[in-house]
């Protein structure tokens, strides 16, 4: 009998369609275009792991709105991505686009501009992407940020003659350009730049050519998911015993692939934005969360771009009080600062580009597994290509 008044109250709420009832919440739609199949499918898997963990930890309502995710697989093909983004804008009427790799982010940019919808770039590492639309904001990284730091570190640590092996697409070209510029200014010499096709690469002949050139250092950029095959062929060619130092951006010792690599990678030094062994309570929780929800998957630098992309969207919505027009949201995103599992990050209010700490890391064994141990921190690194344009 005592329950009656409460039940009546609930019935009244339902009848009046109270705004507190979950089923009456307005929704905010986030259209995601990521490479879930095709050549870079492991990238899509990692970024989605980050996105899902963020929602698991922070819930699916924000600023009084229900967050609705609509995921589309671009199959690693930019033309497919463009069509899917068009459908998300026109048919699904999404309020945000969350996108992945460089060619996809570029293909979608004019659509974001036309529709005035924020395009949150969660994977791409190519500087020019953010200049393709005033509605683009990046939560991933640029190859320049990492390549500049490793070039300075190498030159300071006795490296004089380098051969570059670069995956032949836009982020690779930028890694090479920034490394070459900074390394030369620091007194180093680039003997040769070797380009390897992006699709199904066979590094063996290129590694042989690099060895024949007789450098003291090998600078390598391969995208996430190709580090394992590169490391295998590196060892097969006897590079680990050649005295030639392997360096690069963090992609070549990707946390996703490190557990499957051999001890030959011990001691390899890279400049990266994220390490699964980054020491903070937030990262510990992050790594455990990704592992638990994805069958033991180790979190990598791609996943944090998705996690932080969701944070940017949630916080922008809080700042606008749930308003979803693109101009208000972009204004809210500019200058935002927060703690990420990777460390402190912010959005440059002038360029909408991420500013983040870059770490010098060395591959070490912890508890029987290979990890990137952070040995030096360079704080609040801006994209050097944009900085040079000023």
Residues that bind ligand PHB (CB under 6 A): 43, 101-102, 123-126, 171, 223-224, 251
The smaller minimum CB distance to ligand PHB, of residues 62 and 385, is found at 385
If you count them, how many residues does the chain have? Answer: 390
The smaller minimum CB distance to ligand PHB, of residues 140 and 217, is found at 140
The smaller minimum CB distance to ligand PHB, of residues 62 and 177, is found at 177
CB of 146 to ligand PHB, least distance (A): 10
The smaller minimum CB distance to ligand PHB, of residues 224 and 381, is found at 224
The smaller minimum CB distance to ligand PHB, of residues 102 and 217, is found at 102
CA dist list (Å): 7 to 13, 18, 21, 22: 10, 15, 15, 17
CB of 35 to ligand PHB, least distance (A): 9
CB of 126 to ligand PHB, least distance (A): 5
CB of 141 to ligand PHB, least distance (A): 8
The smaller minimum CB distance to ligand PHB, of residues 35 and 324, is found at 35
The smaller minimum CB distance to ligand PHB, of residues 42 and 118, is found at 42
Distance of alpha carbon 6 from the chain centroid:
49
Which phi-psi region, left, alpha or beta, contains residue 361 (left: φ > 0; alpha: ψ -120 to 50)? beta
In the chain, how many H helices and how many E strands?
Answer: 12, 15
What is d(CA 169, CA 173) in angstroms, rounded to the nearest whole number? 6
Paired tokens of 129: 């992407």
Identify the burial level of 211 via C-beta atoms within 10 angstroms of its C-beta, where 0-12 means exposed, 13-18 middle and 19 or more buried. Answer: middle
For residue 347, what are the β-bridge partners?
A: 354
DSSP letters of 21-34? Answer: SGGG-EEEEEEEEE
What is Dmax (Cα atoms) for the chain?
89
What is d(CA 73, CA 38) in angstroms, rounded to the nearest whole number? 9
What is d(CA 255, CA 274) in angstroms, rounded to the nearest whole number? 9
Phi then psi dihedrals of residue 164, to 5 deg:
-105, 130
CB of 38 to ligand PHB, least distance (A): 13
CB of 106 to ligand PHB, least distance (A): 10
The smaller minimum CB distance to ligand PHB, of residues 226 and 324, is found at 226
CB of 9 to ligand PHB, least distance (A): 53
CB of 377 to ligand PHB, least distance (A): 21
Q: How many Å from the N-terminal Cα to the C-terminal Cα in the chain?
A: 74
Cβ contact 141:301 at 8 Å: yes
């Amino acid at each position: 009998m005592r329950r009656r008044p409460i039940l009546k109250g609930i019935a009244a709420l339902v009848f009046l369609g109270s705004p507190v009832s979950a089923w009456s919440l307005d929704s905010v739609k986030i259209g995601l275009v990521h490479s879930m199949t095709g050549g870079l499918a492991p990238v899509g898997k990692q970024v989605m792991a980050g996105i899902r963990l963020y929602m698991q930890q922070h819930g699916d309502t924000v600023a009084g709105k229900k967050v609705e995710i609509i995921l589309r697989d671009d199959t690693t093909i930019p033309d497919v991505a463009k069509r899917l983004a068009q459908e998300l804008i026109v048919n699904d009427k999404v309020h945000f686009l969350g996108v992945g790799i460089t060619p996809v982010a570029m293909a979608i940019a004019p659509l974001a501009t036309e529709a005035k919808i924020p395009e949150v770039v969660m994977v791409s590492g190519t500087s020019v992407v953010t200049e393709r639309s005033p509605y683009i904001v990046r939560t991933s990284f640029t190859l320049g940020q990492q390549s500049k730091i490793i070039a300075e570190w190498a030159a300071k640590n006795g490296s004089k003659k380098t051969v570059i092996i670069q995956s032949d697409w836009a982020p690779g070209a930028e890694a090479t350009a920034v490394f070459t510029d900074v390394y030369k200014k620091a007194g180093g010499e680039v003997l040769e730049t070797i380009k390897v096709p992006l699709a199904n690469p066979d590094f063996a002949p290129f590694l042989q050519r690099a060895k024949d050139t007789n450098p003291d250092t090998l600078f390598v950029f391969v995208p996430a998911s190709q580090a394992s095959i590169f490391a295998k062929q590196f060892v097969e060619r006897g590079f680990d015993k050649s005295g030639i130092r392997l360096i690069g951006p963090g992609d070549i010792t990707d946390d996703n692939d490190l557990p499957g690599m051999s001890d030959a990678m011990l001691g390899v030094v890279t400049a990266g934005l994220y390490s699964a062994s980054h020491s903070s309570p937030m990262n510990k929780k992050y790594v455990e969360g990704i592992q638990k929800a994805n069958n033991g998957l180790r979190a990598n630098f791609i996943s944090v771009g998705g996690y932080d992309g969701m944070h940017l969207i949630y916080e922008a919505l809080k700042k606008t009080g749930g308003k979803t027009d693109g101009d208000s949201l972009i204004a809210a995103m500019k200058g935002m600062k927060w703690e990420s599992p990777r460390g402190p990050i912010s959005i440059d209010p002038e360029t909408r580009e991420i500013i983040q700490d870059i770490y010098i890391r060395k591959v070490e064994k912890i508890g029987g597994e290979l990890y990137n141990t952070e040995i030096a921190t360079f704080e609040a690194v801006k994209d050097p290509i944009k900085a040079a344009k000023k």
